[in-house]
Amino acid sequence: MVLQGHPSDGSFVWGDQCDYLRCLCQFKSARVSRDQMMLMIYSGFDFIKIARDYPHIAAEHPPVPRLFVFAMKVFVWISIVCGWLSIFVNLLFMSSLIWITVYWFSYPSKVNNGWWTIICYVVGYVIEIVVTMVAEGLTGRHYEDQLWHYPSSNLKIIPIFPVFESYLMALALRYAVMKERQRYFIIRRDLWCSVAVQQIFHTLFFAFPQVTLQLYLYTTRKSKGTAIDDTTVCIWLLLGAGGASCFMSIFANSRLVLFPHSCNAFGFAIRNVNPEARKRNHFLSDLRPSEVCIRLIYIHLLTYLITLIIVLFIHLLNITRGCERNEQVMLAVYFGIILVCVILYFVFLNYLPQKGVCAMCYLSFVPIIMQVAYYIFAWHEPANECSFIMYRFAGWTVPNMVAFGILCVYLCFWIALSIKECFVPRAKENLIDHLTCYFIQQQSL
């Protein structure tokens, strides 16, 4: 038989059996069991497309509770709406950032603040281009069923205006209004996936760093009595756009995590799974609930590390003679450990996709323990003019505290689920798999 085994034991369907399986599914009497459906949705998007094209093969599957179906539909539609709003949020964020930059350069004594704003933007811009090229593929993405070619990631080179994101949304809309849109299911799904990935990248490399930096610059300027009422508007616009970007990226990341079937590390579709691809993407096809938390921890750990680096770098630039030697040593050790954590993060992500899964969670405890140790250290130090001590709970560190709190919540969920899995037998199917089968059958995923 073609469909034998289960994803939980490492089984999958060879890509060269796709045409044969499609011929079998054309018969109206053809049926597949739940385990066979699981095997299909974890063996590549060519097999998922077969399940969508021939929904009668799952006609005998038990129904899904309506409450879960309604909740999942609402979740999917919210993520789609967030995709459309992301263009507006990006434009609002960049407009407020340009406004702030112009303000800093309009005051001779604050020109350095303008240059720091530009440097922070350029660094985020370069990193986002590189990461986008890696995520999208240096040679582009190609599909058998397509009317319009997938947008080239070279469009990310254009600064300020989100040309690449706008092109993605426009192309997704063109496919969505077609009568035969189900035929182009794979490219439509990857277009929405790319929009979600760009939302996450914008939050990581622009929103969190710039909000942290501008809050610091604005706070120090205001404390020196140079505040102007007009600039308060652009600060609030920046905070609002940054907060909205963070909110939408959480939804985008959750959607990628909850539907990882036959996807690579960035959530893009894998057409058919071979042994090497299966080995490389093993952590994306684990059925345990704790693995869902781990995939959420991946992105939020990186967010937390980025905010920590920004905060600690600001402290390093403000070391004064008022800082005691032990405070300088603590800051240097803290910054060095966080840099090591960043290096280990990418090592685990790129070179240890299987064994590095749990190691990533263990790595998350290192910066958390360091931040708690820093708070205890700063609390017991006498008050002085050292920024490392004086700004331990400053308002401009709120993005870092938010990232810290979100990461702690996910780690608590991971610990609870891991403990439960030690005593409860591993299930062959979870609710997400059940809902995925339903949405595939209804042709709405």
List per-residue pLDDT tens for the chain, 445 residues long.
566 666 666 666 776 677 777 888 888 888 877 777 777 777 777 777 777 778 777 777 777 677 777 777 787 778 778 888 888 999 999 999 999 998 888 888 788 888 999 999 999 999 999 888 888 774 456 677 777 888 888 888 888 888 888 888 888 888 878 777 777 778 888 888 888 889 999 999 999 999 999 988 887 765 454 444 555 788 888 989 998 998 888 888 877 877 777 777 777 777 765 555 554 444 444 556 677 777 788 888 889 999 999 999 988 888 776 778 888 888 889 999 999 999 988 888 776 655 556 777 888 899 999 999 988 888 887 777 777 777 777 778 888 888 899 899 888 888 888 887 777 666 555 666 666 666 665 555 5
138 to each of 154, 261, 358, 371, how far by Cα in Å?
9, 23, 29, 38
Q: Are 199 and 247 in contact (CB under 8 A)?
A: no
* 277 CB-side CA count, 13 A: 17
| HSE-CB of 13 using CA atoms within 13 angstroms | 31
The upper half-sphere exposure of residue 316, i.e. CA atoms within 13 Å in the direction of its Cβ, equals 13
Number of C-beta neighbours around residue 4 at 10 A = 10
Specify the 3-state DSSP secondary structure of 6: coil
Environment class of 200 (CB within 10 Å of its CB; exposed 0-12, middle 13-18, buried 19+)? buried
Residues 6+ apart with CB under 8 A from 298: 349, 360
Cβ(416)–Cβ(354) under 8 Å? no
Rounded to two decimals, what is the model's pTM?
A: 0.84
- Cα dihedral value 221, 226, 229, 232, nearest 10: -10
Q: How far apart are the first and last CA of the chain?
A: 28
Handedness of CA 149, 87, 242, 312 (dihedral sign): positive
DSSP symbol at 263: B
Give the span between the Cα atoms of 152 and 136, in whole angstroms. Answer: 9
Contact indicator for 3, 40 with CB cutoff of 8 Å: yes
Residues 357, 363: Cα–Cα separation, whole Å: 10
Report how far residue 336's alpha carbon sits from residue 375's, in angstroms, rounded to the nearest whole number: 17
> Could you tell me how many residues make up the chain?
445
Instruction: Give the torsion through C-alpha atoms of 164, 167, 172, 175, to 10 deg.
Output: -140
Query: Domain coordinates of the chain in residue numbers?
Result: 7-58, 66-273, 289-428
